[in-house]
Every structure is written in structure tokens, then in C-alpha cells.
Amino acid sequence: HRNHGKTAASGRNQPAGPCGAWLCVAPAPCSFTPFFKSFVVKDVIVELKNDLSIHGILHSVDQYLNIKLTSMLQTLGDILTLSVKNCFIQRSVVHYVQLPADKLDVQLLQDAARMKPCLQQKPPVNMSQ
């Protein structure tokens, strides 16, 4: 059983977890990559869209916000369903990432939120040929 609380701004249910800050990663621009990289070798909890929670140590985050965890434990509610040495989680299946509140750099998060998203731009087409 998960503890949910309503946020005033969105009115949506968001988990209230023991680690502190919850961040929704969809759709997140690559400007958030340095923010997430500041949590490498820290304990995080990744909640997937299918209600599974994955606890582990953040090993790496790529520019697309795909996540690699080590010492991973997967739970469904309060039931431990899987324990593996490492895993890769594609961003498209992530609902929330719970980060340790005591390690949260608010200034870095605010800077990342102000940055424009990285858009893959195609080179201009030369129509004169």
C-alpha cells in the first residue's frame, strides 16, 4: 500500500516517500542530466508506470535520462519480487524518481528547469541544388 498525497498545483496524486523529493521525469529534457548525475552513487527509488518500485544505487544516467542502477531490489507494494546486481531502466517506463532529500541541490534543479530542452536539430536543407 503506497501513501499518496495531492499536490495543490496539479491536483494529481503524487507519492509521498521516506527519501524526500519525488521528480516526475516525463517528458524531461536533457538539461536535467547534470542534475540526475549529481546523485550517482546515492540510493534512489525509481517508480515505474506499472506500479513496480525499484530501489538501488544510481550508477549512471544518459542524455535521454535512461537510468542504470546497481544493487537493485524490485518491489510490488511491500513484497520483494526481484534482487539483481545491476539493471538498466528506459526512461519511457519511469513514472517517478525518488531522490534523497538531504542531497538535493535546489539551485541545480532550478537551473536545469530554466534551461531550454536539447532539441535534435536537423541540418538545413539546401534547396538550390
Per residue in 59-115, pLDDT tens?
A: 999 988 899 999 999 888 788 888 899 999 999 999 999 988 888 888 888 877 776
Of 41, 47, 32, 55, the residue nearest 105 (C-alpha) = 32
12 pLDDT band (50/70/90 cuts)? very low
Asked if residues 112 and 38 have their Cβ atoms less than 8 Å apart, the reply is: no
- The proportion of the chain whose per-residue pLDDT surpasses 70, expressed as a percent, equals 65
Reduced 3-state DSSP string for 11-38: CCEEECCCCEEEEECCCCCHHHHHHHHC
The dotted CATH code for 4-114 is 2.30.30.100
Per residue in 20-33, pLDDT tens?
A: 555 555 444 567 88
Asked if residues 54 and 79 have their Cβ atoms less than 8 Å apart, the reply is: no
- The proportion of the chain whose per-residue pLDDT surpasses 90, expressed as a percent, equals 30
